[in-house]
Each structure stands twice: as structure tokens, then as C-alpha cells.
Amino acid sequence: MKSGLIQPVSTMLATMLLAACASSSGLHTHAKAIDPQDLEAAHSLSSVSLSTAAWPGEAWWIDLGDDQLNRFMSDALQGQPSLHAAEARVRAAQAVSGIAGAALYPQANASATSTRLRFSEAGTVPPPIAGTWQTINDAALGVSYELDFWGKNRAAVEAALDRAHATEVDLQAARLVLTTTLTRTYLRLDAAYDLRDLAESTLKQREQTLALTRRRVAAQIDSELELTQAEAALPAARERIASLDESIALLNNQLAALQGKGPDAGLVVQRPHLAKVGTVQLPSDLPVELIGRRPDVVAGRWRVEAARRDIKVARAQFYPNISLNAFVGLQRLGFDDFLSAGSRVIGIGPALSLPIFDGGRRRGNLALNQAAYDESVETYNATLIDALHDVVDQLVSLHWLEAQEREQNEALQLTQHAYDLAISRYRSGVANYLQVLIAESQVLLQKRLVIESQARERELRLNLIRALGGGYLPTTSPDPRLADKS
């Protein structure tokens, strides 16, 4: 009779097992990672010289040659709270990977209980125990180990490690944001001082013109109208200086905040002294190497890897969960001879778990993880495209800015010559003050445009450094072959 039941039951169990294992059919991912070599950029980069050593260094700001900036950068990298927060996120991600890794090892637990109870006289326990008070003592040590046949636990650990790597790269991205923001603020401070110099020069020039106008009025060459116009030009120049002083103070305050310091630290900021920058060069292995040089791109690749391993975890849930369990301990009524060999209890055996009917929960979980993988791949693709366009955008702006600067310098020379002629004619008494004002305003406009263009060129070069990864070079990289794995 028993042998007649074994075969049908075994067949039924095998059929249910196969049905459960095959229930993930029809589910797959859709996204495919872009190959950087497929992003055509050769013509866009053809106008720029290439160099094998043109990738920015880790401390690229040193090339600007300003000791004060170097000190600010060192203080910011040590004292900025946003970096400390990013470091805390790294530690949290590493802790999560450690938690996931615990599943790869045997688990041991100890327990001990002592219960005082009265046994029922009408229960299942016979006399002489029935109807008496007894103490039940138990002490046990249990060990369990999950046999990771399908790689579920290993994949979960690897996914957690991938996310920890991504968080570490996020820290480098935060570092890059901090260093570029601080440098950009410093560059704007330098430009503000240049504009203030121009405003000071304008004020002195207008004071000299006012003195000349007073002499002309005294000589009855000019009228009170020209004198009033000359006097009215001074407050406007002083207002411009005050406005620039405000900008300088605010930029100093921002520099202090970026260093993680109080406002008083901004009071001791000195005028920048930046070195001239050289010609723009690009690394010869762009764009292929860009995927390993940009923190945001590398972090995206790690997250794709983590999502791919999550799919492996979800697939493994369609298969049986098998573990080995064992325990050894002592069990006895009362404390007499509790530690004797007769009190021993020992058990060992396997355990198998397979949810056969779950209403589509496992399929839904697998589909969810596959969709998350698709999202991470497309996010990575978008990041890679944006990264390459970021580089080209800076180069395009630098190219056309160079043409603008040539025209601005020529315009400045011409307007300066026109002003020199106007002031010379004014001194000679053959031109009026209105002609001087018009010529002066044109010169001031061109000088301001030249200063702003020089400042913009430096910011574009800074943006290019950021676009090239700011000197980031990973110590470990995810698998570059991200496509068709899930």
C-alpha cells in the first residue's frame, strides 16, 4: 500500500516543482546599454588638439597657481558638511553589504528556558506527573546553513556591494561638485575685483574730466549744463563701486560657507592672484574612456550591475530554498541530573521550502526588478549621452568665445581711440561734454565686455574640467559589458 502511494506522490511533487520553476517564462528585460563607441563625436572634437596626458589631475586647481585657493580647497575638502554626509552614506551602504553577506555563512543561536507549570490531571501527561507542579528546563544550541544552490544569496551580496561602490563614486561626485563650485566662486571673485578696478579707473577719469570742465566754465567756454553733467557722472561711478563691493563681500561669504566655516572667515579673504591658463587640449581616448572618468557615469554603471543582480535574486526565488539545520542541547524535568548525558537532545536534518501557489507574487517581483533594471540602464544611457554633450558644449562655447574676444578687443581699441580724440578735442575747446560722455560710455562698455569674456573663458575651462571628470579615476570598475545580461 505504501509503495503504491510513493510513485504518484513523487510524480506529483516533481510536476509541481517543474511547474513552479518554469513560471518565470515570458519575463525579460528590454533596455540595452549604449556602447560609447556608437556615440559619434569625431567631427565635433576635430577642432581641438588631442593629448595622451590631457585628462585633468586629481588636484587640477593647483594649475591655477593661487596659494589662497589651494588653502581654501584643502579646508573645504576637510570641513564641508555635505561631504561628511556623503561619507556617512558610504558607510551605510557598506554596512548594508555586510548585512547581506551574513546570509553566506552558517547561523548559530543559543537558547535557554526554565518554566514552572502544573500539569493537568486530565491531560495527555500520565501520573505521577499529572496533577503536579514541575520545572521544565531546556538549553539548546542550534546551527543552520542555507545551501545557496541557485546563487540567490551570492547575488544579493554582490548587488549590495555594487550599490556600495556606487555610493563611493557618489562621494567622488560630491567632491567634484564642491571643488568646482568653490573654484567657480573664486573665479567670479577675481572678475569682480577686475570690474571694481575698472569702476575705480572710471571714477578717477570722471574726476579729472570734472576738474577740466570747471576750468572751461571759468573760462566761459562751457556752461553750467556741461558742469552739471560732469558732476552727475560721479555718483553713478561711486554707486557702481559700492555695488561691486557688495558682490565681493557676498562672494567672500560664499567661499567661507563652502569651506564649512562661519561668516568671519570671509572677512580675511584676499584678492585672487590666478595664473594664466594654456591652450585647451582633450584626451585622445575620448569618448571611450569617459565612461571610466566621470563619477556620474561610473555610478550609473554600478547601479546597472546592482539591478542586474537583483534580477538574479528574483529568479532564484522560483527555486526551492534548501537549508541544513542541527541542534544539540539539554532537556529535563527539574534540575536534578540536568547536566547528565541522559538529558541530551540532538537533531539534524534538511529543510526545503518552495511556495507553489503565491498568486503571482514571484512573477510580479521578477517583473518589478526587470523594470528597475531597464530604468537603470536608460538612466545610464542618458547620463552617458549628457556627459559627452557636456564636453562638446564647453568646446563649442570656447570656440565661439574666442571669435567674440577678437572682435571685442578690436572694438575696444577703436572706442578707446575715439575717446582719446573726444577728450583731446574737449580740452582744445572744439568738442562739447556730450561727445566725451558718449565716447566714454562706449569704452566702458567694451572694457566690461572684455573682462566678462575673460571670466567666462575661465569658467568654461572649469566646466570642461568638470565635464572630463575632474581627475576622478576609479580604483575598481563595473563590468563594461552591460547589455544582454538579464
DSSP state letters, 373-425? HHHHHHHHHHHHHHHHHHHHHHHHHHHHHHHHHHHHHHHHHHHHHHHHHHHHH
Cα 127 to Cα 116, 120, 284, 410, 414: the distances in Å are 18, 10, 92, 116, 120
| Measured distance CA(371)–CA(310) in Å, rounded | 11
Beta strands 49-51; 281-283: pairing state: parallel
pLDDT for 2: 46
Give the long-range contacts of residues 177-180, CB within 8 A, separation 24 or more: 178/76, 178/77, 178/80, 178/82, 178/83, 178/258, 179/61, 179/73, 179/76, 179/77, 179/470, 180/462, 180/463, 180/465, 180/466, 180/470
How big is the CA angle at 313 (ends 312 and 319), to the nearest 5 degrees? 95
CB 195 within 8 A of CB 448: yes
Instruction: Please state, as a whole number, how many other Cβ atoms lie within 10 Å of the Cβ of residue 228.
Output: 12
How big is the CA angle at 161 (ends 156 and 167), to the nearest 5 degrees? 130
- β-bridge partners, 51: 283
Q: Which of 112, 110, 133, 113 is nearest to 121 (CA)?
A: 133
**Tens-level pLDDT at each residue, the chain (486 residues):** 444 445 544 544 554 455 444 467 778 889 998 887 777 776 677 667 666 767 888 999 999 999 999 999 999 999 999 999 999 999 999 999 999 999 999 999 999 999 999 888 888 888 888 888 888 889 899 999 999 989 999 999 999 999 999 999 999 999 999 999 999 999 999 999 999 999 999 999 889 888 888 988 888 888 888 889 888 989 999 999 999 999 999 999 999 999 999 999 999 999 999 998 777 777 877 777 888 899 999 999 999 999 999 999 999 999 888 899 999 988 888 777 778 887 889 999 898 888 778 888 899 999 999 999 999 999 999 999 999 999 989 988 988 998 999 999 999 999 999 999 998 988 888 888 778 888 888 999 999 999 999 999 999 999 999 999 999 988 777 765 554 555
- β-bridge partners, 118: 133
Predicted TM-score (pTM) of the model is: 0.84
pLDDT for 367: 94
Residue whose C-alpha cell reads 558607510 in the numeric block = 91
Rg of the chain in Å (alpha carbons): 38
Length of the chain, please? 486
- Domains in the chain (CATH in brackets) are 32-467 (1.20.1600.10)
| Measured distance CA(177)–CA(180) in Å, rounded | 5
Secondary structure (3-state) at 340: coil
pLDDT for 331: 87
pLDDT for 483: 47
| Measured distance CA(338)–CA(333) in Å, rounded | 8
Residue whose C-alpha cell reads 592672484 in the numeric block = 273
> For residue 64, what is its C-alpha cell?
591655477
H helices present in 294-345, as ranges: 295-316
How big is the CA angle at 257 (ends 254 and 258), to the nearest 5 degrees? 90
The torsion of the CA quartet 6, 8, 10, 14, rounded to 10 degrees, works out to 180
Residue whose C-alpha cell reads 547601479 in the numeric block = 303
pLDDT for 19: 47
For residue 302, give every residue at least 6 positions away whose Cβ sits within 8 Å of its Cβ, in sequence order, or none: 162, 163, 165, 166, 169, 478
pLDDT for 7: 55
Cα 350 to Cα 17, 105, 214, 366: the distances in Å are 17, 16, 108, 27
pLDDT for 17: 53
CB 323 within 8 A of CB 146: yes
Residue whose C-alpha cell reads 559589458 in the numeric block = 481
Instruction: Please state, as a whole number, how many other Cβ atoms lie within 10 Å of the Cβ of residue 63.
Output: 14
CB 50 within 8 A of CB 135: no
Establish whether the linkage from the previous residue to 128 is cis, with ω within 30° of 0.
yes
> For residue 389, what is its C-alpha cell?
554633450
| Measured distance CA(373)–CA(369) in Å, rounded | 6
